[in-house]
Amino acid sequence: MRARDLVYETASALDANRGRSLLTVLGIVIGISAVIAMTALIGGIKQTLMGELGLNQARMVSMYAYPNREVTLDDLDRLAELMPEYECLTAATYGAAEAKSETKTFTPTVIGVLPSYFEVMGLDPVEGSLFTQRDQDSGALVVVLDKGSVKELYGNPDEPVVGKTISLNNVSYAVVGVIESGSVMMGGSGMLYIPFSTCGARITGSMSVNDFSGLAREGTDMEAITETTKAALVSYFQLDGDDEENVYVMTMQSVMDELDSMMASFQLMMTSVASISLLVGGIGIMNMMLTNVTERIREIGLRKALGARSSDITKQFLLESVCLCLAGGVIGIVLGYLGSFALTGFAGGLVQTGSAPATVTPVIDAQAVGIATGICVLIGVAFGYYPARRAAKLDPVESLHYQ
Amino acid sequence: MAPVIDIRGVHRIYESAAGYMHALRGVSLQVERGELLCIMGPSGSGKSTLMNTLGCLDTPTSGTYLLEGVDVSMLDDDELAELRATRLGFVFQSFNLLPRATVMRNVTLPLVYSDCPVSERRVRASRALAAVSLPEQYFDHRSNELSGGQMQRVAIARALVNDPAVILADEPTGNLDSATGEMVLRTFRTLRDEGKTIVLITHDPEVARWADRTVHIRDGRLLTDEQERALLAADPTTRSAT
């Protein structure tokens, strides 16, 4: 029996049972849709985050060291000398204050930052400008808002606010610039940035540094720099390097890894939905193939009388169930991809950037499609084999006289 | 020349829940090339079992069967399948055509299993259909659109298409009215005249009149015409069974 004949037989058999075939593959369709929608969404979320992160952030390293003393800007300068692999080190300090515009009040996180902070974080102003060294040196009363805090203070994140004045703990600050909100991964939205010196003097009351961030030089191995930075911090601050509580170094890569583990529960849920419906779908396929074999007993007997080998019959029915599953898979891939667009709102919420949910565009990759196709073939073979063997083992004499 | 079919001392015993069924009891039969042989017998006489044995669909419990000199008991399932595909043609009482497939597809079906190149198939099928005088306009009709006589001629063409050694026909006229049946039998006669070997199985004496030779089967044993007449003369009640 030639491949061409096999294909012809399969096509005409499936064509004869179009409605029933379509209903039977529903389980497969649902299972594959779930798999594809899930991978497309996760791919989309990752891509969105990558895009949002920008180029600099791939080189950004966050460092947390907690020695038993205050960490100051002098430490920062010495660390910069110790770690020449960094283009630039910057520091931030965190405080809280009551912020007021003419109409509204809220209590944001106030971050005191060095002027280099925005560059290291890869943040550009969407309006106005950022801090200068002079602001830092003079402890200027200037503030940079993110879109989230603009929304909190003025109700509308796109309100032009540069040049306006807000008050922090009843001291007036001039708004000099607005930046995009960071995502959840970046510490969330609703942040207020003021110069480090201003923050130390007026909000936190101390010149100590809460965390450092560094911008590695281009072409640096980000895996290796995590280790060397950690070692440098341990030796500089004379810390117990084994204690995670004392020192912690994080690159964007490790943030991505964390995102992966956060996605794992979502992925697990979708995978179980998918596997259950694939299992049920497979049983449905087997059921239909058994019905098919019973309905076609006379035809099978005839084919055997006309010279079909058992293997020809096995092949014919096996290919039929594989094609059935593949058809289900193709429909599932298309539906899953379309369905993932419907779910972008939900996914956007996960990576919300402040005021507006991020726009996540589902990403479908060849690997996911390949795996889904492979699963379909596997199900077709696994659940089609028993009916096909049953057909092949039929006795030609009995089947020819079967009523 | 060796006979096309040569069976000697064939027994076939079925084992079933009801016990053993001795369907063939030492049957010996030779069929020469170009012969139109009729095997007659009442239902339950073992004629279907004999037909299945001749068609290599069933294997004898004991005895030998040589088809064109080949001992079929030595062949495995795949070789038997190949034999059925290339050396044997079947015609059934109920036609057994694929109802949704075209006439052409039905006739080419055995070619699918005998590894015939796709390009040759239509030519061979057309030749076989011409041999049973089916007009060309029907070739692409679906087989369930044909009349009974046409369907049986398509089935004969299907049996012919691989140019087999023997055509086995099991009650080929059983589902046809007598005029159509006669047309089908005339087709067999024509094929016999062209040198085909044909074995007809029937319980109808009218059909048997078309054969070159008739053997009778009764309770799993073969009888010649003379023995059959003697049997009937001795015990006229057995006639009712035919």
Instruction: Report how far Cα B189 is from the mean position of its chain's Cα atoms.
Output: 14
* Residue type (1 letter), B20: Y
The candidate with the shortest Cα–Cα distance to B188, out of B161, B213, B169, B206, is B169
Name the nearest CA neighbour of B144 among B208, B96, B74, B188: B96
Tell if the CB–CB gap between A307 and B85 is shorter than 8 Å: yes
Q: Is B221 helix (H, G, I), strand (E, B) or coil?
A: strand
- Residues from chain A that touch B84, judged by Cβ atoms under 8 A, are 304-307
Which residue ranges make up each domain of chain B? 33-59+81-241
Q: Backbone dihedral region of A196: left (phi > 0), alpha (psi from -120 to 50 degrees) or beta?
A: alpha
For residue B54, give the chain A residue with the closest CA: A305
Min CA distance, A396 vs chain B (Å)? 6
> What confidence tier does B242 reach under pLDDT thresholds 50, 70, 90?
very low
Judged by a CB distance cut-off of 8 A, whether residue A394 touches chain B is no
For residue A201, how many other CB atoms are within 10 A of its CB?
Answer: 14
pLDDT-derived band at B89 (thresholds 50, 70, 90) equals very high
> Which residue positions in chain A have pLDDT lower than 50?
184-185, 353-356
- Segment 298-317 of chain A within 8 Å of chain B by CB: 298-299, 302-312
The pLDDT value given to residue A107? 85
3-state secondary structure chain A: CCHHHHHHHHHHHHHHCHHHHHHHCHHHHHHHHHHHHHHHHHHHHHHHHHHHHHHHHHCEEEEEECCCCCCCHHHHHHHHHHCCCEEEEEEEEEEECCEECCCCEECCEEEEECCCHHHHHCCCEEEECCCCHHHHHHCCCEEEEEHHHHHHHHCCCCCCCCCCEEEECCEEEEEEEEECCCCHHHCCCCEEEEEHHHHHHHHHCCCCCCEEEEEECCCCCHHHHHHHHHHHHHHHHCCCCCCCCCEEEEEHHHHHHHHHHHHHHHHHHHHHHHHHHHHHHHHHHHHHHHHHHHHCHHHHHHHHHCCCCHHHHHHHHHHHHHHHHHHHHHHHHHHHHHHHHHCHHHHHHHCCECCECCCCCCCCCHHHHHHHHHHHHHHHHHHHHHHHHHHHCCCHHHHHCCC
Q: Are B10 and B182 a contacting pair, CB within 8 Å?
A: no
CA geometry: angle A317, A318, A320, nearest 5 deg: 65
Q: A16: which residues sit within 8 A by CB, 6+ positions away?
A: B100
Contact between B81 and A299 using a beta-carbon 8 Å cutoff: no
pLDDT score, position A147: 83
Give the Cα separation of A153 and A166 in Å (integer): 9
Which DSSP category does B240 fall into? G
- Average pLDDT rounded to a whole number, residues B109-135: 91
**8 Å CB contact of A309 and B113:** yes
Of B96, B98, B114, Cβ closest to residue A307: B114
A60: Cβ contacts below 8 Å, ≥ 6 apart: A120, A121, A122, A213, A214, A215, A216, A251, A252
Mean pLDDT of B185-193: 91
| Structural tokens at position B23 | 């369907």
Would you state the pLDDT for residue A189? 66
Nearest C-alpha of chain B: how many angstroms from A17?
A: 12
Helix crossing, A252-295 with A222-237: angle to 10°?
140
Nearest chain A residue (CA) to B76: A309
CA separation for the pair A331, A44 (Å, rounded): 21
Q: Do A397 and B92 touch (CB under 8 A)?
A: no
- Nearest chain A alpha carbon to B99: A299
What is the pLDDT at residue B235? 67
Partner-chain contact A307 B101, CB within 8 Å: no
Mean pLDDT of B154-176: 91
pTM value is 0.73
- Considering CB atoms only, which of B96, B110, B118 is closest to A307? B110
The answer on pLDDT for B18 being more than 70 is yes
Question: What is the spatial distance between Cα B152 and Cα B154, in angstroms, rounded to a whole number?
Answer: 5
Q: Answer whether residue B229 shows pLDDT above 80.
A: no
- Give pLDDT, residue A316: 93
The length of chain B, given as a count of residues: 242
Per-residue confidence (pLDDT) for residue A184, from 0 to 100: 44
Looking at beta carbons, which pairs linking A128-136 to residues 24 or more positions away fall under 8 Å? A128/A162, A128/A163, A128/A175, A128/A176, A128/A177, A128/A178, A129/A176, A129/A177, A130/A176, A130/A177, A130/A179, A131/A176, A131/A193, A131/A195, A135/A195, A135/A198, A136/A195, A136/A196, A136/A197
**For B48, which residue in chain A has the nearest alpha carbon?**
A397
Is A262 touching B (CB cutoff 8 A)? no
Q: Any idea which of A39-53, B17-31, B33-47 has the lowest mean pLDDT?
A: A39-53
How much is the pLDDT for B5?
93
How far does Cα A107 stand from its chain's mean position? 30
Segment B146-169 shows an average pLDDT of 92
> Mutate which of A298, A306, A393, A395 to test chain B, going by most B C-beta atoms within 10 A?
A306
| pLDDT at residue A350 in the model | 61
pLDDT of res. B63:
92
Distance, CA of A122 to CA of B111 (rounded, Å): 72
The answer to whether A6 contacts chain B (CB < 8 Å) is no
CA distance A235 to B227: 116
CA nearest to B59, candidates A400, A313, A302, A397: A397
Q: Do A298 and B96 touch (CB under 8 A)?
A: yes
> Which A residues in the span 180-209 are in contact with B, Cβ-Cβ below 8 Å?
none
> For residue A362, what are its two tokens?
């589902």
Fold of B33-59+81-241: Rossmann fold (3.40.50)
Provide the pLDDT confidence category of residue B78 given band limits of 50, 70 and 90.
very high
**A395: closest CA among B59, B124, B11?**
B59
Other C-beta atoms lying within 10 Å of the C-beta of residue B175: 15
pLDDT at A329: 94
Min Cα distance A11 → chain B (Å) is 12
Nearest to A16 among B81, B100, B158 (CB): B100
